[in-house]
């Protein structure tokens, strides 16, 4: 299957700082990438859909100025959590679609804001 990488896998930052998470499709080109958030023992929550070369589409309730998404190329999307606060601590997972039959996930990034 297709491979999606995510970096970093874990990050700890201080409150008020910004954190950037990278998501790459390694062996396919992804016109559409997705960013999810997941709290412990809870289901995936879609934050936004990212299309290459255009603005991301955010789900209702997700602050687009706080969670900046850039899909600069067909293999790279980035999520920047701006002015992070402890309540932003979570597991962030990106996903990329490789045609109609495959949506592949990265390994996730665990963000801890102190």
Partner 1 sequence: QKEVEQDPGPLSVPEGAIVSLNCTYSNSAFQYFMWYRQYSRKGPELLMYTYSSGNKEDGRFTAQVDKSSKYISLFIRDSQPSDSATYLCAMWGNTNAGKSTFGDGTTLTVKP
Give the binding site for partner 1 (CB under 8 A). 1, 4, 6, 32, 34, 43-44, 46, 49, 57, 91, 93, 95, 97, 100-108, 110
Distance CA 22, CA 80 (A): 9
Q: How many CB atoms lie within 10 A of CB 54?
A: 9
Question: Which CB sits closer to partner 1, 17 or 26?
Answer: 26
Cα angle, residue 107 at apex, residues 3 and 33 outer, rounded to 5°: 60
CB of 25 to partner 1, least distance (A): 13
Q: Which is nearer to partner 1, 8 or 107 (CB)?
A: 107
Which residue, chain included where needed, has tokens 């396919």? 28
d(CA 59, CA 51): 14
State the minimum distance, in angstroms, from the CB of residue 68 to partner 1: 20
- Cβ 36 to partner 1 shortest distance, Å: 9
């Amino acid at each position: 299957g297709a491979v999606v990488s995510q970096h970093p896998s874990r990050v700890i930052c201080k409150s008020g700082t910004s954190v950037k998470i990278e998501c790459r499709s390694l062996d396919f080109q992804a016109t559409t990438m997705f960013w999810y958030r997941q709290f412990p023992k809870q289901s995936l929550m879609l934050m936004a859909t990212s299309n290459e070369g255009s603005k991301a589409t955010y789900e209702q309730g997700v602050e687009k100025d706080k969670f900046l998404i850039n899909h600069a190329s067909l293999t790279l999307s980035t999520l920047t959590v701006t002015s992070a606060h402890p309540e932003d601590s979570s597991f962030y997972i990106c996903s990329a679609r490789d045609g109609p039959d495959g949506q592949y996930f990265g390994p996730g990034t665990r963000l801890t804001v102190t």
